[in-house]
Amino acid sequence: MLKHYKDFLREKTGRYLMGIFLLLLVDSIQLFVPQVLKTYTDKLEASQIVMGEIWKIAAVIGALAILMAILRYLWRIMIVFTALEFEIWTRKKLYKHWTALPREYFNGVKTGELMSYATNDIGTIRRTFSGGVIMGVDAIFMTITTVVVMGTTIDWKLTFFAILPMPFIVYGVLHMGKIVHDKFRRVQEIFSQLSDKVQESFSGISVIKAFSQEELDLDDFEQINELNFNENMSLAKFQAKLYPTVRFIGRSSMIIGVILGARAVLNSTISLGDYVAFIKYLEILVWPVMAIGMVTNLIQRGLASMGRVNDVLDVNSNLKDSDNPKEAQGYNLEVKGLSFSYPGVNERALEDISFNLKEGGSLGILGPTGSGKSTLVSLLLRLYNIPQGSVYLGGQDINELSVKDTRDIFAMVPQDNFLFSTEIINNISLSDKEPNEDRVIQAAKDAQVHDEIMDFPQGYETFLGEKGVNLSGGQKQRTSIARALYKDSPILIFDDSLSAVDTKTEEAILRKLRVELSKHSSIIISHRISTLQNLDEIIFLDQGRIVERGSHEELLALGGRYYSIYEKQLLEDKIRGAGYESI
């Protein structure tokens, strides 16, 4: 249960336990106060007391109060602060863990679910370790010691009768707490549905508007929102009944105490001072007894949350990383008979792929949608485990390198280019903590997007995304390309990343790659023959297999599928060139 938290516990357990010790100290002092009161009352009744002594007693009570205040402050810092630190620490750990998880994991969970782990569950754990444990320790210690002190210093029989109703409090709180818990869980679930709904609606806001679905979407939202209201109301109603009931049981203890105690005083079994102290103790007792019930629930809830978070932390990033990684000797990329199926899928996404990409060389990949082009790229980037002996970098099996080093060797422009909601400059310099402005501008120039960026009033400081400017598809793509160029890795990969730029711009980008970045190797996936024709080798993928391969000329000479695509695109270009496109 606690294995994920070892590092934290090692460092902080001492302080936490110290806090608990101080808490118990305060409790003990608190128990002492009625004793002072008792002595004082007895003396007062017997008129054995002079005013000077009253001052003394007042001073003692005052001193105890100050001591308790200081100790309370200290234990709060020690326990509550530790719990807060624990919350932050765990959230960080969870976040870090998530970023290390393979992509498939995120296909299987909803954003709302992740949010609820990171907020609700971790918050519940924190409350368990601060409020929960404090209450628990406090409650058990106070209940036992109060009863013992009452019995020994006053009267056991009286104590027994007065605390008879107390177990009902524990039972009541426990039992009803379970109901509260179930209701609470419903509330949490609905809440996570609600945040999912909001998130999805606003991500897809343009689709909703374009299809005039605002009304329906609003209906959907209201339904969930109302459900959320109902569940919360149901919880609140139940709690509204629970607490007064429990308090009432507590009062009945007091009633028994008042009656039986008074009789005992009249019978002279106990002194008036005993009586005052006794009532005071009963008052002290109601809260810890209630707390025992509440704490049991809270701790159950905390353990459930911890279980959920642990389940996430237990998910292994099943990505194998080399234990003592070697360094790449050169960047010759060799793929030998690589076959791959996605986890849990029988069909092969790639079958017997082989090619050799020399340092500084270029490889083109062509093939219909779903033929495995992006899969091949994600394997090179080690988003999935790669079979041993199928991919070599600089003569070394890629599995011998660390995952991080491997990813540093490649710079990819992904098919679905994603820009973060931050300034353009930070989007381009993503691979660097501190952006190097000159290199950002150079990369943007090479990617043919510099002029357009400069057209924005704020240039490279233009904020993108939800709170800022939306770039066009082509601008996004070229900004993504600039990001990859900025990274300046030995091997560049373009996954269909030139589709949204016009042929002229594309040529300009490719020329840059060929001439100025010729020391880099490149893998270019494209549907356009014009993009691929100058590359060293082109492979044609279909259903995960290489069906044709060679240089542009060789492929044309082959007269196969590459050739027919070439003819088709040539015809399209002619039509365009003849000016028909403006029709």
Residue numbers at the binding site for ligand ADP (CB under 6 A):
342, 345, 349, 367, 369-375
Contact 180, 238 (CB under 8 A): yes
**Binding-site partner at residue 372 among ligand ADP, Mg ion, none, CB < 5 to 8 Å by type:** ligand ADP
Min CB(448)–ligand ADP separation in Å: 24
Task: Name which of 206 and 369 has its Cβ closer to ligand ADP.
Answer: 369
Cβ proximity to Mg ion: between 22 and 484 the closer is 484
Closest separation in Å from C-beta 372 to ligand ADP: 4
Nearer to ligand ADP, 368 or 389 (CB): 368
Nearest to 546 by CA among 371, 334, 362: 371
Q: How far is the CB of 383 from ligand ADP (least distance, A)?
A: 9
- For the bound state, the minimum distance from the C-beta of residue 368 to Mg ion, rounded and expressed in Å, comes to 10
Which partner in Mg ion, ligand ADP, none is near 370 (CB below 5 to 8 A by kind)?
ligand ADP
The position carrying tokens 């008052």 is: 283
Contact between residue 406 and residue 384 where contact means Cβ atoms under 8 Å apart: no
C-alpha 544/C-alpha 528 separation (Å) is: 19
Among positive and negative, which fits the CA dihedral 528, 530, 533, 534? Answer: negative
367 binds, among ligand ADP, Mg ion, none (CB under 5 to 8 A by kind): ligand ADP
CB closer to ligand ADP out of 193 and 378: 378
Shortest Å distance, C-beta 355 to Mg ion: 17
**Judged by CB, which is closer to Mg ion: 271, or 415?**
415
Q: Helix and strand tally (H, E) in the chain?
A: 22, 10
CB nearer to ligand ADP: give 266 or 345. Answer: 345
Closest CA to 530 of 493, 490, 483, 572: 572
302 vs 372 by CB, closer to ligand ADP: 372
Which of 482, 495, 487, 477 is closest to 363 using CA atoms?
495
Nearest-angstrom CA–CA distance, 485 and 193: 40
Tell me how far apart the alpha carbons of residues 562 and 538 are, in angstroms, rounded to a whole number.
10
91 or 373, CB closer to Mg ion? 373
**Smaller CB separation from ligand ADP, 270 or 377:** 377
Q: How far is the CB of 475 from ligand ADP (least distance, A)?
A: 23
> Which option in ligand ADP, Mg ion, none does residue 479 bind, with CB closer than 5 to 8 A by kind?
none
Least gap, CB of 412 to Mg ion (angstroms): 12
- Given the structure tokens 């793929």, which residue do they identify? 335
- Whole-number minimum distance, CB 98 to ligand ADP, in Å? 17
- Binding partner of residue 473 among ligand ADP, Mg ion, none, CB under 5 to 8 Å per kind? none
Q: What residue 342 binds from ligand ADP, Mg ion, none (CB within 5 to 8 A, per partner kind)?
A: ligand ADP
Q: Which does 131 bind (CB under 5 to 8 A by kind): ligand ADP, Mg ion, none?
A: none
Backbone dihedral angles phi then psi of residue 144, each to the nearest 5 degrees: -65, -50
DSSP for 226-286 reads HHHHHHHHHHHHHHHHHHHHHHHHHHHHHHHHHHHHHHHHHTTSS-HHHHHHHHHHHHHHH
The Cα 181–Cα 206 span in angstroms is 39
Angle 522-525-529 from CA coordinates, rounded to 5°: 105
Least distance in Å: CB of 373 to Mg ion?
5
What is each CA distance from 94 to 106, 322, 338, 403, in whole angstroms?
Answer: 14, 23, 34, 20
Tell me which of Mg ion, ligand ADP, none is bound by residue 369, counting a contact when its beta carbon lies within the kind-specific cut-off of 5 to 8 angstroms: ligand ADP
Burial of 232 (0-12, 13-18, 19+ CB in 10 A): middle
For the bound state, the minimum distance from the C-beta of residue 411 to ligand ADP, rounded and expressed in Å, comes to: 18
For residue 273, the partner it binds in Mg ion, ligand ADP, none, with Cβ less than 5 to 8 A by kind, is: none
Which residues contact Mg ion (rule: CB under 5 A)? 373-374, 415
456 binds, among Mg ion, ligand ADP, none (CB under 5 to 8 A by kind): none
DSSP string, 322-359: -SSPBPP-S--EEEEEEEE--TT--S-SEEEEEEEE-T
Give the three-class secondary structure for 165: coil
As beta bridge partners, residue 412 has 493
Q: Which does 402 bind (CB under 5 to 8 A by kind): Mg ion, ligand ADP, none?
A: none
Least distance to Mg ion from the beta carbon of 97, Å?
Answer: 28
The whole-angstrom distance between residue 228's C-alpha and the CA centroid of its chain comes to 23
217 Cβ contact partners less than 8 Å away, ≥ 6 residues apart: 201, 208
Closer to ligand ADP by CB, 348 or 439: give it. Answer: 348
Helix extents (H) in 496-578: 503-515, 529-532, 552-558, 561-577
> Which of Mg ion, ligand ADP, none is residue 522 near (CB under 5 to 8 Å by kind)?
none
User: Nearer Cβ to ligand ADP, position 371 or 489?
Assistant: 371
Q: What number of residues does the chain have? A: 583
Nearer to ligand ADP by Cβ, of 268 and 369: the residue is: 369
What is the b/e burial string over 111-138, where b = at least 16 CB atoms within 10 angstroms of the residue's CB? ebbbebbbebbbebbbbbbbbbbbbbbb
Closest distance of CB 494 from ligand ADP, Å: 12
